[in-house]
């Protein structure tokens, strides 16, 4: 047996592989950590950001359409009956469709209060009242008519301050055998209330667009809105021809009179 002198014991080999493995691990893990962190942040941002509501989406679409209008135009406002009328032109003028599915008279008033018009429209076509006849909104038909009137009167004032002519089309009939939750009695009474309020205003004209025998697709909506709205042309188009387009000063005065 060989005895080594004291102080000359063999040294263990140096561990040079450990730092190398650490560097390799950092190089591989760091990009993955950055990627997963970015994805997590994106997911959190998606969760935290509130979704865009249908109403806000429609408001943005209407505002964009108004921005593309150069010159005179007609404004169609109200509920899904208006929204499903796809006319781009009527009485020789472009149509800006501001209809919103599910809108009541109060909803329509609130939406129009947020819309900045580039100039007053030559006329406003208004169809509203069906959603005010939804049974979840009232106890009985007389109450539905009262609530509708309370919302419709300020709406009509707003529209009358915005345009020299407002055309109220009436409310389509409801087939309760096809749809639940709506009152045909309330819808009929609401339509009559809208017409009575319109006739009391010098700037409003009743031009019925809907007939009781118009084919419906689901108990609420018409199969052919183009044909239905054509019925108001004899009342609206000659009236537009006899009226001068509003001046920019009239637009400013209209804005000043808005409630």
DSSP string across 105-157? HHHHHHHHHT---SS--SEEEEE--TGGGBGGG-SSHHHHHHHHHHHHHHHHH
The 8-class DSSP code of residue 9 comes to P
Phi, psi values for residue 98, rounded to 5°: -110, 25
Find the DSSP H helices in the chain.
Answer: 17-48, 54-67, 80-83, 105-113, 141-162, 184-199, 225-229, 233-241, 248-257
Q: State whether the Cα torsion 54-63-245-251 is positive or negative.
A: positive
* pLDDT greater than 60 at residue 16: no
- Asked if pLDDT for residue 213 goes beyond 50, the answer is yes
Mean pLDDT throughout 111-122?
A: 95
Q: Which residue has the higher pLDDT, 200 or 13?
A: 200
Average model confidence (pLDDT) for the chain?
A: 84
Least confident of 89-93, 170-174, 208-212, 240-244: 240-244
Radius of gyration, CA atoms only, the chain: 33
Q: 256 in helix, strand or coil?
A: helix
Over residues 25-51, the mean pLDDT reads: 49
pLDDT score at 254? 42
Length of the chain: 259
167 conformational bin, left if phi > 0, alpha if psi -120 to 50, beta if neither: beta
Structure confidence at residue 42 (pLDDT):
41
Distance CA(214)–CA(191), nearest Å, equals: 16
Q: What pTM was estimated for this model as a whole?
A: 0.76
Least confident of 56-70, 97-111, 222-236, 245-259: 245-259
For 216-227, the pLDDT digits (tens) are: 999 999 999 999
Q: What is the pLDDT of residue 242?
A: 81
């Amino acid at each position: 047996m060989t005895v080594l002198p004291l102080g000359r014991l063999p040294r263990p080999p140096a561990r040079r592989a450990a730092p190398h493995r650490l560097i390799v691990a950092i190089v591989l893990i760091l990009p993955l950590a950055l990627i997963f962190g970015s994805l997590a942040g994106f997911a959190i941002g998606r969760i935290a950001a509130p979704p865009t509501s249908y109403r806000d989406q429609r408001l943005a679409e209407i505002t964009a359409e108004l921005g593309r209008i150069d010159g005179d135009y007609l404004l169609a406002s109200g509920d899904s009956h208006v929204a499903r009328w796809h006319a781009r032109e009527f009485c020789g003028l472009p149509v800006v469709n501001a209809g919103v599915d599910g809108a009541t008279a109060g909803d329509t008033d609130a939406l129009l209060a947020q819309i900045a018009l580039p100039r007053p429209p030559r006329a406003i076509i208004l169809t509203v009242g069906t959603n005010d006849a939804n049974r979840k909104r009232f106890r009985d038909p007389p109450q539905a008519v009262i609530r509708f009137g309370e919302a419709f009167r300020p709406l009509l004032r707003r529209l009358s301050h915005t345009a020299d002519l407002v055309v109220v089309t009436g409310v389509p009939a409801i087939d309760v055998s096809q749809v639940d939750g709506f009152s045909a009695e309330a819808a009929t009474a609401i339509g009559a209330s809208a017409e009575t309020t319109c006739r009391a205003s010098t700037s409003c004209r009743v031009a019925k667009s809907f007939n009781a025998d118009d084919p419906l697709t689901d108990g609420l909506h018409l199969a052919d809105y183009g044909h239905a709205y054509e019925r108001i042309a004899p009342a609206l188009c000659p009236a537009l021809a006899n009226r001068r387009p509003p001046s920019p000063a009239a637009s400013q005065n209209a804005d000043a009179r808005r409630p």
